Amino acid sequence: MSNTMEEMLGKEVWAVAGVTAKKDRYGYKIWKKLKEHGYKAYGINPNYEEIEGEKIYSSLNDLPESIDVLDMVVSPKIGMKTLEEAKEAGIKYIWFQPGSHNDEILNKAKELGFTTIENCVYAVLKGKE
């Protein structure tokens, strides 16, 4: 495991951009897996007000506290806007799930000064069980 990955996994407060109530989707599985491993995980999706009784936020700007790591489970097109919000919110770490990144968004993340990982956090956490 890389030092960057270990550093991110050592952070406690995460946001999952692209959380969903659909239990077969990674947007749901990742959010739940983070919680199972003791992380505080906020869900971001403007299409939901709540999932399983937990408040879901429309954007990073609506969160009640600072986020350490943003986990991207959205398309690169949506992610580009989310990167701008993340910069404004002072987030330093972005974890890109498979399918959430392309060269354009990775270059933009680097340009904005984020520390990034491109890997599946669900698989990484599952491997620690």
Give the tens place of pLDDT for each residue, 37-96.
999 999 999 999 999 999 999 999 999 999 999 999 999 999 999 999 999 999 999 999
Instruction: Round to whole Å and give the CA distance between 120 and 124.
Output: 6
Q: Which residues touch 26 (CB under 8 Å, ≥6 apart)?
A: 73, 97, 120, 122
**pLDDT tens-place string over residues 11-43:** 999 999 999 999 999 999 999 999 999 999 999
pLDDT value of position 128: 84
pLDDT confidence of residue 42? 98
pLDDT given for residue 129 in this prediction: 81
Architecture of domain 3-127: 3-Layer(aba) Sandwich (3.40)
